[in-house]
A and B are shown apart, each in its own frame.
Chain A
Amino acid sequence: MSGRAALLTASAGLAAMHLAALGAGFLAPYGPTEQNRSLPYAPPTRLHLVDADGRFRWRPVVYPLARSRAGATYEEDRLQSYPVLFLVRDGPGAPAGRVHLFGVEEPARVFLLGTDGFGRDQFSRLLHGAQISLFAGLLATALSLGVGWLLGTLAGYYGRWLDAILMRSAELFLALPWLYLLFTVRSMLPLHVSPGQAFLLMVLVIGLVDWARPARLVRGVVLSARERNYVLAARGFGASDLYLIRRHIAPQTFGLLLTQAALLAPQYILAEVTLSFLGLGVSEPVPSWGNMLAELQHYHVLASYWWMWVPGLALVAVFLAYYALSEALHLLAGPTST
């Protein structure tokens, strides 16, 4: 695949994932916190094209689930079939009557990826959790690169004592293994916060902790850009610092920022997932891929219900897409820039 085609494929894949997360309210058949206490760990609902009577159905049908006598397994109740409906409106009981892409009539349920221990639809939670996990990563990347860019440019452009101070403190931040640093900063923030606050806290913590790496890289680029002849010429014509940075120096750093973003975003997504997994991030009942995966810490869930692994698989897909993106960017940028 040529570089350009690979770049397009990777960005299209990422865009699709982020759009799916944004449209979670519409794409997901259920709310992320909607419980079905009678259906814990239900397997993914089977969509039948051929119903119990052996007739072919253009519109797939599902059967309601019933627990077996022993209560350990589920079986389909084949008495009545329920066709999958598209563009269904929430029932009158629901608080916000929104339209969903698909759904079935009660008492049947459509759980594309099964349910968790509270009988909540994994598919809906996956999409809603993506809103938190993917966008926490994206916002933290923007924050970290923004701060890193600003400090790196200042250090590289003005040099002297400012450079010395900034780079020494960057070394300090880099001297700690980064997950430990993340934990230390997290430990200074309140533990019990609402999910919204937790989301913002995590974005801030992840984004601010890691400013040192981009700052060092940006500084290097700025240092060399500052001495270019056209910059010196513009300075000779009396251009202000702000103009020089905006017009001549900042554009030199954008390529670096882009490649760094593709590298850092998956790391930060994983950081959010890790924090939530360990109970230091977004907490139940609001889903994040991290706290969804936390259920796997129970051995019986780990070994028995494969659909509980789905957030992990989604994470791998996101990682692959970002990895492909950064490879493609590298290929396009050529071997000269890192």
Chain B
Amino acid sequence: MARLARRVVHGFLLLVGVSVLSFVLVELAPGDYFAEMRLDPRISEATVRALRVRYGLDRPLPERYLRWVASLARGELGYSFAYGQPVGPLLWPRVRNTLLLTGTANGLAWMLAVPLGAWWATRRRGVADAGLAGLTAILLALPDLVLALGLLLLAVRTGWFPAGGMVSLGHEQMSAGERLRDVAAHLVLPVTALVLGILPVLVRYVRASVADALGAPFVRAARAHGIPEVRVVLRHALPAAANPLISLFGLSLAGLLSTSLLVEVVMSWPGLGPLMLEAILARDFYLVLGPVLASTLLLVGGNLLADALLLAVDPRIRSEET
């Protein structure tokens, strides 16, 4: 437990650090939302100045940071100039959508990667080995962007899946079951893009760590005892290989968040990605910071989850503490 508590504190400090770093980075930007306004001849210089004072943009940097932190505590996360409302309510549905997308993709990718990788580890040389090596190499060489566009082409050409967005027209009028099916149908395309993007990495890792475990003396001992091969892999090798894989679980979420940013924009999934892009183009400070902070929160959360899993699964770590 002490280990987990330490990780929580560490994660919290990381969040504070990221908030300072991103705040300073974004604040350093030359020109702000109101600077663009200044180009508009209908708005007088005095109005712009008054607006800047009203939103506290004339204050020194540390004070602005503290005010922002205070608004974080209220759940507002600063004020979006473009939308004319606090960032918080804009952000939460986006976080939910991104979490839905990356969570589904991460779960699915791992559910595919573990059996596939473990099976691959038992096939040294031969057709399956070469085939999987080639397949993962090709998938690794396919850039996420091309993959997403390719899937979009498939959807547009065949009409099997909705080609973008999260809900169909008339989503509001549907019954609960229909709504669920509607969102699920829209999920297929972006989730496939994310899963195909991360699957080769995961499969290769699983294979490597299971192959490592299969070479261990206790596996040979198990085989010598006449335990069937399937049981050797599932009961003896896989748990031993779990440790590095669970650490990777936290990292895979980070990779997915980055990829998802792009996939969301290409497939117009209303997640954090499009919001952030829009905010950057509009020079809307606090709206840029929102997705950054949210994505860090998701990442830190994912790593904590991996830590907790590790603690639950690996007795070696539990005994380390006592």
State the CA gap A172–B20 with chains docked (Å): 10
A-contacting residues, B284-322, CB 8 Å: 288, 291-292, 295-296, 299-300
CB-nearest residue of chain B relative to A312? Answer: B146
State the CA gap A175–B14 with chains docked (Å): 7
- For B15, B30, B254, B255, the residue with the greatest tally of chain A CB atoms inside 10 Å of its CB is B254
Interface string of B145-185 (1 = CB under 8 A from A): 11001101100110000010000000000000000000000
State the CA gap A187–B163 with chains docked (Å): 29
A278 CB–B CB distance under 8 Å: yes
State the CA gap A293–B143 with chains docked (Å): 12
Contact segment of A97-105, A113-121, A123-131, A294-302: A294-302
B18 CB–A CB distance under 8 Å: yes
A9 to chain B, nearest CB (A): 15
Say whether, besides A179-B258, A303-B153, A316-B141, A186 and B280 are in contact (CB < 8 Å).
Answer: yes
Query: Does B276 contact A302, Cβ atoms closer than 8 Å?
Result: no
Interface string of A161-189 (1 = CB under 8 A from B): 00000001001110111111101111111
Interface size on B, residues (CB 8 A): 49
A199 CB–B CB distance under 8 Å: no
Query: Does A270 contact B145, Cβ atoms closer than 8 Å?
Result: yes
Which of A187, A302, A320 touches B288 (beta carbons < 8 Å)? Answer: A187
B277 CB–A CB distance under 8 Å: yes
* Complex contacts, B279 vs chain A, CB 8 Å: 187
Interface string of B71-104 (1 = CB under 8 A from A): 0000000000000000000000000000000000
Q: SS class of chain B's interface: helix, strand, loop or mixed?
A: helix
Query: Does A176 contact B281, Cβ atoms closer than 8 Å?
Result: no
Query: Does B143 contact A319, Cβ atoms closer than 8 Å?
Result: yes
* Complex contacts, B29 vs chain A, CB 8 Å: 187-189
Which of B26, B145, B157, B261 touches A303 (beta carbons < 8 Å)? Answer: B157
State the CA gap A297–B141 with chains docked (Å): 22
Query: Does A316 contact B258, Cβ atoms closer than 8 Å?
Result: no
B-contacting residues, A200-252, CB 8 Å: none
Interface size on A, residues (CB 8 A): 40
Query: Does B261 contact A180, Cβ atoms closer than 8 Å?
Result: yes
A328 to chain B, nearest CB (A): 13
Query: Does A183 contact B25, Cβ atoms closer than 8 Å?
Result: no
CB-nearest residue of chain B relative to A178? Answer: B258
Query: Does A293 contact B149, Cβ atoms closer than 8 Å?
Result: yes
* Complex contacts, B141 vs chain A, CB 8 Å: 316, 319-320, 323
B230 CB–A CB distance under 8 Å: no
B-contacting residues, A273-325, CB 8 Å: 273-274, 277-280, 293, 296-297, 299, 302-303, 309, 312, 315-316, 319-320, 323
Query: Does B18 contact A176, Cβ atoms closer than 8 Å?
Result: yes
Query: Does A172 contact B156, Cβ atoms closer than 8 Å?
Result: no
A190 CB–B CB distance under 8 Å: yes
- For A177, A185, A279, the residue with the greatest tally of chain B CB atoms inside 10 Å of its CB is A177
* Complex contacts, B281 vs chain A, CB 8 Å: 191, 279
Which of B18, B145, B280, B299 touches A312 (beta carbons < 8 Å)? Answer: B145
Which of A183, A293, A299 touches B156 (beta carbons < 8 Å)? Answer: A299
B137 CB–A CB distance under 8 Å: yes
* Complex contacts, B149 vs chain A, CB 8 Å: 293, 296, 302, 309, 312
Say whether, besides A172-B17, A188-B26, A299-B163, A177 and B299 are in contact (CB < 8 Å).
Answer: yes
B69 CB–A CB distance under 8 Å: no
Query: Does A323 contact B140, Cβ atoms closer than 8 Å?
Result: yes
